[in-house]
Amino acid sequence: MNRRIPAALAAGGLLGFAVAAYPALGRDRYLNWGARPDEVARQMPGDKLLPDAPLVSTRAIGIAVAAPTPTTGSRISSA
């Protein structure tokens, strides 16, 4: 028997498992990447344009910046 056949079956089985498990294990995580639960739940700009959308996703990033001080105003010091 050809050795490639078992390897192909194993790869096909792994791919089938990944496709079947995606909705249960990863879909919500990827659709709401980086967003907090309150950000996912609230209405965002543009939501009224398509109120019954078949797919809704909210992605967010966090940007760490220094808060402005009375001496620097709104500028961030480089020192």
Q: In the prediction, which pLDDT does 76 show?
A: 57
pLDDT tens column, 41-70? 898 888 889 988 888 888 888 888 887 777
What gap in Å lies between CA 31 and CA 35, rounded to an integer?
9
pLDDT tens column, 63-79? 888 877 776 555 555 55
What gap in Å lies between CA 59 and CA 71, rounded to an integer?
35
pTM exceeds 0.75 for this model? no
Q: In the prediction, which pLDDT does 16 show?
A: 87
Q: Which residues contact 55 (CB under 8 A, 6 or more apart)?
A: 31
DSSP structural state of residue 47: G
pLDDT tens column, 8-47? 888 888 888 888 887 777 777 788 888 889 988 898 888 8
